Structure 1
Amino acid sequence: MKFSFLSEYQIRKAEHEGQLDNLKGAGKPLPASGDGDFAESVGFRIMAEAGALPKEIELKREEEAQLKVLQGTTNPDARKAEMQKLADIQLRRAIQEEARRKYYSQG
Structure 2
Amino acid sequence: MPDNLKFVEGDATHQLPDGRWDVVVLSNILEHIELRVDFLKAIVVKTRPKRILIRVPMFERDWQIALRKELGIDFRSDPTHMIEHTLPEFEMEIAKAGLRTCERLTLWGEIWATVEPIS
Q: Name the TM-score class by shorter chain.
A: under 0.3
Question: What is the TM-score normalised by the length of structure 1?
Answer: 0.24
More relative contact order, 1 or 2 (CA 8 Å, 6+ apart) = 2
Query: Normalized per residue, which structure has more helix?
Result: 1
